A and B are shown apart, each in its own frame.
Chain A
Amino acid sequence: MVERTPILNFFTHLILFAGFVFCVAPFVIVAIAASHNLKDVNDVPMSLLPGSDFWVNIKTAWTTAGLGPKLFNSFIMAAGVAAGKVIISALTAFSIVYFRYPGRTLIFWLIFVTLMLPLEVRIVPTYAVVANVLSPYQAIMDVTGLSWLIEKVSGVQVSLSLGLLNSYTGLIMPLIATATGTFLYRQFFLTVPDELTEAARMDGAGALRFFIDILLPLSRNNMAALGTIMFLWAWNQYLWPLLITTDQSHATAVTELKQLIPNVGGAPEWHIAMAGTLIVMLPPLIVVVLMQRWFVRGLIATEK
C-alpha cells in the first residue's frame, strides 16, 4: 500500500470478501446440509442453521458407500503415486543431468513429450495395456520373430499375460508414467554447484553415493513439494480408478461418490450425499491446509 485511498480500500475489502464467500460457501453449505434430516434438507430454501443429525448422516454415508475401505484404497493409491513419483523422477533427473551418454537428448525428449498427453485422452488403449501389461512385449516378440524362435527351440509357446485390473499396481503405475516431477528435479539439480560434485568425487564418492548422501538430502524441499502435489492429484483422480476397478474391493473414495447421488425415483437423500461429499473432501482439504507452503510451491514449480 503506497497511498491513502479510502474509497478504493473499501471496495477492495468488499470484493475480496465476496471472493472469500464464493470460495467458502460451498464448503459451508455441504457441511450444513449434512447436518439436516431428510425433510429439512429438502426445504425450500434450506435452513442455514445446522440441524442435529450430523453424526447420524456421516455414519449412514460411511456405511452405505462403504467409505472405510474406499478411503483406505484412495490413501494407498495417493501415497503410492506420490512415493513413486518422488523416487522415479529423482532417478531419471539424476541420469539426465549428471551423465553424458549417447541418446541422452533422445531420452530427455522422450520423457518431455509425455507432458503433452494426459491420461484422459489416451484412456482406452491404456486400459487395454493394463488389462495385460505384458501385451506390448508379447507383440514386440511376435513381430520380431522372437517368440517363433523360442517356440522352435524350446517348444514352449510364448504367451505373456499379467492383468493389472483391480490391483493397486494397476491403479498406481499409469499415473506415475508422466514427466511432471522429472523436470522439477532437473531444474534443481542444475542449480547444485559443480564444486560440490568435484569435492565428492575427490573424496572418492561414486555416482550412487553422491546421489544418496548429497543430492537427495539437498532436494528435501523439492520432494516435499512434489509429494504433496502428487498426493492430491492422485487422490482426486476419477476417470482412471472408475475404469480399472470393476471390483468393489479396489474402488476409491472419489469414484464411490456416484453411489450417493439421489435416484430420480427414490427419496432425495441429499443429507446423506452431502455427508459423503464432506468425508471425501476432507482429506485433501486437510492436506492443503497443513501443507499449504509445499502445495503452493509444488504447483508453481511443477508447471514450469
Chain B
Amino acid sequence: MEKRVTFGRWTIGILFAVPQLLLIFTFFYWPAGQAVYWSLTLQQPWGGGNIWVGLDNFRSILANADYWNSITASLVFASISTGLAMIIALVLATLTDRQLAGSRLYRVVLIWPYGIAAPALALAFRFILAPEAGFMAAVNKFWPGFWDPGLNGADAMASVIIAFSWKYVGYNFIFFLAALQAIPRSLIEAAAMDGSGVVRRFWDIQFPLITPTIFFLLVINITESFQDSFGIVDIMTAGGPANATNLMVYKIYSDGFRGLDYSGAAAQSIILMLLIIVLTIVQFRFIERRVHYR
C-alpha cells in the first residue's frame, strides 16, 4: 500500500529516518556483523587481534556434548511451555468468550501475569515451589524426596516451565480472546439454530477461524521461550542442576561473560539467530494467511 499524496522535498524525508538508522546501525547491524566476525575468528590470549579460523568455532561447538544438551533442554522447554501456555489460554479464552456472568472479571484478571517481569515471577515461583518451605514442601512431607529442583534436573525443568507458562497464559489469552471476538456472532447463532452444540461449534467454526492466530502465537511463544527464559532460569536454577536447565541464551551468557569465550559465544549466537530467523520467516508466511480471514 502506498500514499498517493506525498511531500516533495525528499532530503527532509531522509532526515526524519536518520535517528532510527543511526541507532539500528550502531546497536543492531554492527553488533550482528561483529558476532559473525567473532564466530569465524579466535581471539589471541595475549592480545594482538583475532586470527581467522573459518568454521572451527562452529565445529568445536557442535562437537560439544554440553551444547547439544543445551539445545535439547531448550527444545524441551520450548515445546512443553508453549503447549501448556497455549492450551490453557485457548480453553480459558473460549470459555470467557461465551460471555456468561463474570466474564468481564476474567478478561481483566487473566492478563495480569504478562505484565510481571520474568525474574520477579521467577523468584515468586522459586519460593512457591521450594522443596523446604512453601507449598511443595507440604507434598514432600507426604512423599519424602518427591520434589527437589535443586538436585533433580526434571524437577528443575518443571519449575522453570511452570513459571514461564504462567506468564504466557496471560499473553496468549489476550490474542485468543481478540481473535474469538472478531468472529461474527451471527455465524455462531446460525450454527446454534441449525442445532449444533457448543463443542461442535468450537471445532467447526471457531477453531478453523482462529488457526492464523494459533500459528502466530506458536511462533511467538517459541521465540519468546528462547529469550524471555533467561531471567527465569537465572533466578530459579542458574542453569543447574548439572546443566539440566542450561538453555541456549543462558549458555551464551555464561560462556561469553563468565567463561570469556567470545568466539564460542558468538558462534552460538549465530546458530540461535539462524533458528529465530527461520521461525520468523515461517511466521510471515502465516501472517499472509491471517490477513486473508479479515
Binding site for B on A (CB under 8 A): 1-3, 5, 8-9, 12-13, 15-16, 19-20, 22-24, 26-27, 29-30, 33, 41-46, 88-89, 91-92, 94-101, 107, 110-111, 114-118, 120-130, 133, 136, 173-174, 176-179, 182, 189-190, 194, 197-198, 201, 206-208, 210-211, 232, 235-236, 238-239, 242-243, 254-255, 257-258, 260-261, 268, 270, 273-274, 276-277, 280-281, 284-285, 287-289, 292, 295-296, 299-300, 303-304
Q: Which residues does chain A contribute within 8 Å of B24, judged by CB atoms?
A: 110-111, 114, 177-179
Which 10 A/B pairs are nearest by Cβ-Cβ distance? Answer: A99-B13, A101-B10, A95-B16, A288-B115, A125-B31, A236-B117, A125-B34, A177-B27, A238-B231, A45-B138
Q: Which residues does chain B contribute within 8 Å of A5, judged by CB atoms?
A: 197-198
Contact partner of B124 among A30, A197, A284, CB < 8 A? A30
| B170–chain A nearest beta-carbon distance, Å | 7
Please list 25 pairs of residues, one from A and one from B, whose beta carbons are closer than 8 Å in the complex, sorted by A's number: A2-B188, A16-B92, A19-B92, A23-B169, A29-B124, A30-B127, A45-B138, A92-B19, A95-B16, A101-B13, A122-B273, A125-B31, A136-B25, A176-B23, A197-B3, A201-B7, A258-B119, A273-B127, A277-B120, A277-B123, A281-B121, A288-B114, A289-B112, A299-B114, A304-B287
Q: Which residues does chain A contribute within 8 Å of B29, judged by CB atoms?
A: 110
Contact partner of B115 among A1, A91, A287, CB < 8 A? A287
Contact bitstring B1-36, A, C-beta under 8 A = 1, else 0: 101111101111111110111011111111110110
Q: Which residues does chain A contribute within 8 Å of B119, judged by CB atoms?
A: 238, 254-255, 257-258
Is B272 located at the chain interface by the 8 A CB criterion?
yes
* Contact flag A89-B166 (CB < 8 Å), given A46-B135, A97-B3: no
**B12–A208 touching, CB < 8 Å:** yes
Contact bitstring B22-54, A, C-beta under 8 A = 1, else 0: 011111111110110010000000000000000
Closest to B35 in A: A125
Is B118 located at the chain interface by the 8 A CB criterion?
yes
**A281–B116 touching, CB < 8 Å:** yes
* Contact flag A26-B124 (CB < 8 Å), given A2-B192, A15-B92, A120-B249: yes
| A57–chain B nearest beta-carbon distance, Å | 13
| A213–chain B nearest beta-carbon distance, Å | 14
CA distance A304 to B175 in the complex (A): 11
Residue of A114, A232, A295 with highest tally of chain B CB at under 10 A: A114
Chain B positions 118-140 with a Cβ under 8 Å from a chain A Cβ: 118-121, 123-128, 130, 132-135, 137-138, 140
| A117–chain B nearest beta-carbon distance, Å | 6
**A13–B102 touching, CB < 8 Å:** yes
**B189–A110 touching, CB < 8 Å:** no
CA distance A120 to B231 in the complex (A): 11
Q: Which residues does chain A contribute within 8 Å of B234, judged by CB atoms?
A: 238, 242, 258
**B126–A261 touching, CB < 8 Å:** yes
CA distance A12 to B94 in the complex (A): 9
**A121–B21 touching, CB < 8 Å:** no
* Contact flag A121-B227 (CB < 8 Å), given A98-B13, A100-B6, A177-B24: yes
